[in-house]
Amino acid sequence: MSGSTFGRLFRLTTFGESHGAGLGGVVDGCPAGIPLEEAVVQAALDRRRPGGQQGSAGTTRKEADAVRLLSGVFEGVTTGTPIGFFIANTDQRSRDYGPLASVWRPGHADMTYDAKYGVRDYRGGGRSSGRETAARVAGGAVAAALLAAEGIRIRACTLEIGGIAAPGGPDFDPDGAALRPYCAPDAATAEAWEARMREVRGQGDTLGGLVRVEALGVPAGLGEPVFDKLDALLAHALMSVGAVKGVEVGDGFAAARSLGSVNNDPFLPLPSEAGPHDRPDSLPDPDSGQCFDSSRQSAVQAGAPAPASPGFVMPSNHCGGILGGISTGQTIILTVAIKPIPSIALEQQSVDRQGRGVSLRVGGRHDICAIPRVVPVLEAMTALTLADALLMQRRRRADSSQAAARPQGR
């Protein structure tokens, strides 16, 4: 209710400020019996650290971000009780931020926190700092462990930085993005972004871009009709990340310029004579997310098409894997717009809390582009949303044996 808890059945509650004792959280509602180790959560956190995929976008800060699981795991599995965790702040240097105590940085939450609360922890943005997202990534790692047990995985790659779009085509490799600088879908684009990043750093300015997030292996039936449509929950989740200014599902804004006859994704029968693993080559590769063959869905899906259904094929995915707010069984496709980081080295005009004009340069060790760091956060929010939707669906049918896993092929 007060904004520090996300989810309904799988719930993450977080706390912490960038220059306080640290960041932490509680995952409540995770089912018992999920294998979980501290090292898995740590690995997720390591992905958002400066270095690695950060290229020239990142800062020179060294944040250990060592997470400690405090409860809810016993003898290597979750117990069903809340999983508390904590990440101590180690490299705080709060003296950098003193001069900003009474000045509002443009593009930041300084003014709005003052408006909301009347007081503000001004050290490094306090709770409005991007560092807050470390707790989301830790919680998301628990969600991902639950999803992995159901055959669901999340992947993300950057589509565009500073107006330079990845070309797509045969080199487009989203699965390899996690290993490239800037989570780029191909090596050449990563280099182009690196060059642009160096240029802008020299100007004291910052950049934004676009990121695609996909969820693979999601069973049909997740999401609630009306207010809690799966796309509404995902838009909520992604828009709650500070840098995000827009969210699309499937074709998104391009769908607004399409025709109904083009935008609709048809249903086709499974090829009648061939088995499900012997289908016409003319269909797109099912693993691309563009084609969906319901007969190949995992047996662990929470809500399956009606028993009589012998399977079907969807040869396109304009809808982004969601129809009427409920997952279709296809890959879920989301695109988000990331604004340029507001902390720029250039001089800016602002006022202090007394309304007096000031000019300021935001010093410190800031990033040029949020994208490398924000990608694991977007993945985490997607994982949290889907873990919650998965648990919500485990109670939708009167016949609970029907609601549980069932293979459905021919």
Decide: helix, strand or coil at residue 35: strand
Does residue 104 belong to the site contacting a second copy (CB under 8 A)? yes
Residue with smaller CB distance to a second copy, 60 or 256? 256
Instruction: Decide: residue 163, CB within 10 A, 0-12 exposed, 13-18 middle, 19+ buried.
Output: exposed
Does residue 194 belong to the site contacting a second copy (CB under 8 A)? no
Does residue 310 belong to the site contacting a second copy (CB under 8 A)? yes
Residue with smaller CB distance to a second copy, 216 or 345? 345
Q: φ, ψ for residue 22 (rounded to 5)?
A: 165, -170
Is residue 179 within 8 A of residue 306, CB to CB? The reply is no
Residue with smaller CB distance to a second copy, 288 or 402? 402
Does residue 169 belong to the site contacting a second copy (CB under 8 A)? no
Residue with smaller CB distance to a second copy, 149 or 179? 149
* 362-367 LR contacts (CB < 8 Å, sep 24+): 362/100, 362/105, 363/96, 364/96, 364/97, 364/124, 365/59, 365/60, 365/61, 366/59, 366/206, 366/341, 367/54, 367/57, 367/58, 367/59, 367/206, 367/341, 367/343
The residues in 137-166 that bind a second copy, with binding defined as CB under 8 A, are 146, 149, 160, 162-163
Residue with smaller CB distance to a second copy, 81 or 90? 81
The least distance separating a second copy from the CB of residue 54, rounded to whole angstroms, comes to 17
Residue with smaller CB distance to a second copy, 170 or 227? 227
The least distance separating a second copy from the CB of residue 170, rounded to whole angstroms, comes to 25
* Span from 41-49, 179-187, 189-197, 395-403 in contact with a second copy (CB under 8 A): 395-403
Who's near 241: CB < 8 A, 6+ residues apart? 133, 136, 336, 374, 377, 378, 381
The residues in 213-232 that bind a second copy, with binding defined as CB under 8 A, are 219-229, 231-232
The residues in 8-47 that bind a second copy, with binding defined as CB under 8 A, are 8-9, 11, 13-17, 20-26, 28-29, 31-34
Residue with smaller CB distance to a second copy, 179 or 204? 204
* Span from 49-57, 117-125, 176-184, 187-195 in contact with a second copy (CB under 8 A): 117-125
Q: What is the C-alpha separation between 354 and 43, in angstroms, rounded?
A: 45
Does residue 83 belong to the site contacting a second copy (CB under 8 A)? yes
Which among 298, 235, 6, 320 is positioned nearest to 143, based on CA atoms? 6
Q: What is the C-alpha separation between 105 and 314, in angstroms, rounded?
A: 49
* Span from 170-178, 181-189, 276-284, 321-329 in contact with a second copy (CB under 8 A): 321-329
Does residue 261 belong to the site contacting a second copy (CB under 8 A)? yes
Decide: helix, strand or coil at residue 21: coil
* Span from 48-56, 180-188, 206-214, 281-289 in contact with a second copy (CB under 8 A): 206-214
CB-based burial, 368-385: b 16+ in 10 Å, e otherwise: bbbbbbbbbbbbbbbbbb
